[in-house]
Amino acid sequence: MTKRAFITGIGGQDGWYLAQILNEKGYEVHGLTRRPLDDEVIGDGVPASDRLAAHLHFGDLTDSSNIARLVREIAPDEVYNLGAQSRVAASFHAPLYTASVDGLGTLRVLEAIRLSGLVDRTRFYQASTAELFGKVSQSPQSETTPFYPRSPYAAAKLFSYWTTVNYREAYGMFACNGVLFNHDSPRRGKEFVTRKITSGMARISVGLQRSLSLGNLDAKRDWGHAADYVRMQWLMLQRDAPADYVIATGEQHSVRDFVTWAAAALGIEIRFFGSGVDEHGIAAHVVGEAAAHVKQGDILIRVDPRFFRPTDVVDLVGDPGRALNELGWSPLVTARDMCAEMVASDLAVARRDARHIPSEG
């Protein structure tokens, strides 16, 4: 029997990688997206061979009746609730919308499953987040570390985490949380720091941009590759019994480290001087193609307080031991290799953009 999956947020980074895996496994894939529908196919702008087959349904997680109808009609074997307002900084500006999508949205999906009489059939995956640990009380963070959310985003996700646990305990639903640490890729949006860095540095290296402004360079994250993490999302729903898992690499790096790696991948050695808002990243040594546009001593990185958050999460690193022991999962791609992949992808775009700029004279 062909399995049916329903992915909310199929148009996002994780939705794309997950749909790709489910396609390979022969699932019939349905997805909820806020984007205009595109002839049953997602992956616009990528080679045809990378395109995915999926039935796309227009809507979002604020619309209870649409969610209820879709769940009833699709009657999925597996639901992956990846849809979210996922930008932490933006959640401070739009806390009510964030609460509706990231908190109540999960409840809407769970209620749709329950009221459609699908509790015994449909397995549910909730995209929980390391942001739940927030102001961390221990390192590394594991399945037993207390939560301390530090943003409207994290507070809404906390509601979703516990609602998922409650549906498992109250109704016996196969519902589980993947507590995912940061996971990125060339498909990451430029509003997240990794992609902002790789795109910005690539543009600097071809002369499209002189410098890049960032916020808190001291923030530390446990970065993994989205393709690795969606593998774990699927594995969680194949277990005999539902459980919650931390998904992480166990390695921690700062935003400053990530800048240094991205620059190095482009032949630029960056050194940091000063502190706080007066910190600068300066080109110390440049080789290769970048040397045509970047000179030794150029200020490439500036700190702009506009990118600070009212409360930030600064010290995340996960313990993926349970995922390894119980599901045999471990990440294949290191943060630095992922950075290099993102730089290569953004450099190709930057070179193309640079060719379109008319030359002087």
How many residues bind ligand G4F (CB under 6 A)? The answer is 24
Residue 216 interacts with ligand G4F (CB under 6 A): yes or no: yes
* Residue 147: strand pairing partners: none
Residue 225 interacts with ligand G4F (CB under 6 A): yes or no: no
User: Would residue 283 be called left, alpha or beta, if left means φ above 0 and alpha means ψ between -120 and 50 degrees?
Assistant: beta
| CB contact at 8 A, 220 and 301 | no
Closest distance to ligand G4F from the beta carbon of 177 (Å): 12
Closest distance to ligand G4F from the beta carbon of 302 (Å): 10
Q: Which residue has the tokens 């774990």?
A: 232
Closest distance to ligand G4F from the beta carbon of 11 (Å): 15
Please name which of 351, 333, 197, 318 lies closest in space to residue 268, comparing C-alpha atoms.
Answer: 197
Q: Which of residues 10-49 bind ligand G4F (CB under 6 A)?
A: none
Rounded Cα–Cα distance for residues 112 and 293 (Å)? 55
Closest distance to ligand G4F from the beta carbon of 49 (Å): 28
Q: Which of residues 165-204 bind ligand G4F (CB under 6 A)?
A: 180-182, 191-194, 196
| CB contact at 8 A, 58 and 106 | no
Q: Which of residues 50-109 bind ligand G4F (CB under 6 A)?
A: 86, 88-89
Beta carbon nearer to ligand G4F, 58 or 307:
307
Residue 317 interacts with ligand G4F (CB under 6 A): yes or no: no
Catalytic-role residue among 17, 153, 167, 245: 153
Residue 261 interacts with ligand G4F (CB under 6 A): yes or no: no
Beta carbon nearer to ligand G4F, 237 or 248:
248
Rounded Cα–Cα distance for residues 121 and 112 (Å)? 13
Collect all residues with Cβ–Cβ distance below 8 Å to 67 and sequence separation of at least 6: 32, 59, 61, 108, 109, 112
Beta carbon nearer to ligand G4F, 124 or 153:
153
| CB contact at 8 A, 317 and 254 | no
Residue 131 interacts with ligand G4F (CB under 6 A): yes or no: yes
Beta carbon nearer to ligand G4F, 38 or 191:
191
Rounded Cα–Cα distance for residues 78 and 124 (Å)? 6
| The CA-based dihedral angle spanning residues 303, 309, 314, 316, taken in that order and rounded to the nearest 10 degrees | -120
Beta carbon nearer to ligand G4F, 181 or 329:
181
Q: Segment near ligand G4F (CB under 6 A), from 64-72, 161-169, 214-222, 242-250?
A: 214-222
Catalytic-role residue among 27, 33, 78, 131: 131
Rounded Cα–Cα distance for residues 106 and 60 (Å)? 11
Closest distance to ligand G4F from the beta carbon of 304 (Å): 8
Catalytic-role residue among 8, 98, 106, 129: 129
Single out the residue of 67, 79, 130, 202 in contact with ligand G4F (rule: CB under 6 A). 130
Rounded Cα–Cα distance for residues 49 and 30 (Å)? 19
Collect all residues with Cβ–Cβ distance below 8 Å to 358 and sequence separation of at least 6: none
Single out the residue of 58, 171, 273, 307 in contact with ligand G4F (rule: CB under 6 A). 307
Single out the residue of 175, 176, 206, 214 in contact with ligand G4F (rule: CB under 6 A). 214
Confirm whether 131 is a catalytic residue.
yes
Confirm whether 198 is a catalytic residue.
no
Confirm whether 153 is a catalytic residue.
yes
Beta carbon nearer to ligand G4F, 57 or 183:
183
Single out the residue of 118, 202, 219, 226 in contact with ligand G4F (rule: CB under 6 A). 219
Q: Which residues does the annotation mark as catalytic?
A: 129, 131, 153
Residues that bind ligand G4F (CB under 6 A): 86, 88-89, 129-131, 180-182, 191-194, 196, 214-216, 219, 221, 255, 307, 309, 312-313
